[in-house]
Structures are given as C-alpha cells and as structure tokens.
Structure 1
Amino acid sequence: MTVSVREATAADVEAIRAVAEDAWYAALGGALDPAEIAGALETYYDPEVVTAGIESDAIAFYVASVDGAVCGFTSAERTWADEVELHTIYVHPDRWGEGIGSALLDRAETWARGEGVDRVACGVLAGNAVGIGFLEAVGFERGRATEAEIVGTTYEEYEYEYNLRAEAEA
C-alpha cells in the first residue's frame, strides 16, 4: 500500500465530506448525539465551507489517498507568530492504523516548519478517544481542558501541542 499526500482541490470536496462523516460517527458516536454529529457535519462540512478552506491562501489543506481514492485529510493555519493550529486530521475508519494519519500529520508539520513556527497546536474533544490516542502516540502533549461548542452544545475539549523546536534540537 502506498499513501500519497497532496494539496486538496475543489474536486476533493465530496470525498473530504464522506471521510469526515464516517470518521465523526466512528470516533465520536459514543460521545455525541447522532443528531449533533449530523448538525456538525452539515455546518462544518458544507461544500461551500470546505471549498473556501481549500481555496484559502491562509490554510494548508491536504488529502491522503491510496490507489487514487481519498481516505483522509488535514488542514492547518498559522494562528500566532509562533504557532500553527491543526484544524482537522481525519482518516476513514476502514483505514485507521495504516499510517495514513501519520503521513498527513508529517505533511502538515513540514508545512508548519516552513512557516517558521515553534509548535503545532490543536483541540480534541475529551470524548474522542481515537483522536486523543493518535495525538499522544505521535508525541503531542496534552495541555489544559477547555470547552468547545458543537452546534450549540458545549463539550469538554483538551488542548494538545507538539513542540517543533524541541524536535529540531533533539
């Protein structure tokens, strides 16, 4: 199996939405009500919203594919002088454990290093055991607990950070 990671294009919007849907239900099905997941997907993965993210000069947006089929995606944005925020990183549940998330993260981190930042940060819902397990396995450190709103409902979220500078100094 060969994983290919490339910049996302408008032609990828439907595939990105399909991966998001399956990943959200698989990773968050026990933490969020199905109606909340449906509402979040409708809001956050509206075709116009996804297209705007892909076309934004401020957002790095990549897709991963195996045998030409999109099976994951990630997006990141420089939010502070010394920080890139990882907005999304999702892999289709049928492909979990195959290194696709790591390939996507590597590409996002390469982009972040090119931006000259010290760290990559992201937030993960406390009920997302899959996301938490992935980030901790690849070296992100959990910070403080905060709150995140998902279509009108507040949930506990953890802040995670990966220190790019420490990696470079090691």
Structure 2
Amino acid sequence: MTPADCDRVTEIRVRGWQAAYRDLIPASYLDALSVTRDAERRRTLLARGDSGVVNLVAEDDGGVTGWACHGPYRDGELRTADAELYAIYVDPGRVGGGIGRALLDEALRGCAAAGHARVYLWVLKGNARARRFYERAGFEADGAGEPFEADGAAVPEVR
C-alpha cells in the first residue's frame, strides 16, 4: 500500500463496515464514520512505518479493490511472537469474487515467511458471512472473546 492508496483503502473499509455491520453495530456509529478523517489517520500510520505491520492492496485494472493488514499479535498493549490479521476488506460491490481470499492467502504467506507460528484474528461474533469465510480458510474460534463499544453498545468479537 502506498500513501496514494489511502483514500481508496479507507473508502473500502468504511463502506465495508457500513454494509457488513448494519445489523450488528448501531447505525449512529456507522453513519458517523468519516472517509476523510480515517484516510488521514491511515496516511500518518503508513508514513510512521509501524514496525512489522504489513498493508496489502488488491488491484484490478489499476484500481484498488481490497485491502488487508497484518502484523504482530496484540495482547493488550503488548505485541507477541504470533501474528494477527488486523483487517481485510473488499469493495462491497466485489465481495464474493475471490479478492478477499487472495488477500488472505497473501497475508498468511507473509506471516509464515516472517516466522509466525500462529495467526489470530478477531471477527464480530454475529458476522456469520465473515466467520464462514475464515472457517473455510481453516480458522476456528478458540473461545476467546471481548466486546468493543460503539455508541454505548457492546459489540462482541470472537477470536
């Protein structure tokens, strides 16, 4: 991913949240997501060069169609020797066309090449479509869970 990709990556991420999480996260939270603010934050993080974090983009005909990000597993504020898939999003109009799987496969190759024995990810407990996607790739819930707060509502995630 380059700084020039940040606007499109953020648009995919925000529109992805708004499409996939409409029934799982309060609408007030989703409607308040800002492509402009998030793109600037993403450019800042990219420029800072967060150690070990890898941002991947999928392109089709020169345009960004998906984004994935992975790096060291975060256990609270600590980073461990394991890896974590932090995010994977595909343009909502392109979901189901293999872009997400290609990004996931590349992220897993990168994690293995970096010497990570395990890869973890967090997914919204109620996001059945994403959970099926990850299960088909060999992931399974390990019993860990935690909520995050969105406009006062607890939104449960599973690892």
Q: TM-score band (shorter)?
A: 0.7 to 0.9
Residues 1:121 and 2:156 aligned together? no
Runs of 4+ aligned residues of structure 1 deviating over 4 Å after TM superposition are none
1:16 matched to 2:17? The reply is: no
Q: Which secondary structure does the structure 1 equivalent of 2:8 belong to?
A: helix
Relative to the length of structure 1, the TM-score reads 0.79
Q: TM-score, normalised by structure 2?
A: 0.84
CA separation in 2, counterparts of 1:151 and 1:60? 30
Aligned to 1:69: 63
Alignment partners' CA distance in 2, 1:110 and 1:53: 23
Stretches of structure 1 lacking an aligned partner (at least 5 in a row): 1-7, 160-170
Identity %: 32
Offset at residue 152 of structure 1 (A): 5.0
State the distance in 2 between where 1:57 and 1:31 align: 30
Does the 8 A contact of 2:28 with 2:151 survive in 1?
no
Q: Is the 8 A contact 1:16 1:72 kept in 2?
A: yes
Question: CA offsets per residue over residues 132-165 of structure 1, 9 Å max, x none?
Answer: 1211121111122322233553211110xxxxxx
SS in 1 for 2:20: helix
Matches within 5 A, 1:27-106: 27-39=20-32, 41-42=33-34, 46-55=38-47, 56-58=49-51, 59-79=53-73, 80-106=79-105
Secondary structure of the 2:142 match is strand
Q: Which amino acid is the alignment partner of residue 61 of structure 1? A: N
SS at match of 1:141: coil
Kindly tell me: are residues 13 and 127 of structure 1, through their superposed partners in 2, closer, same or farther at Cα, counting changes over 3 Å? same
Secondary structure at the residue paired with 1:143?
A: coil
What does residue range 135-154 of structure 1 map to in structure 2 within 5 Å?
Answer: 135-144=134-143, 145-150=145-150, 152-154=152-154
| Unaligned runs of at least 5 residues, structure 2 | 74-78
> Which segment is superposed worse, 88-97 or 125-134?
125-134
SS of the aligned residue for 1:121 comes to: strand
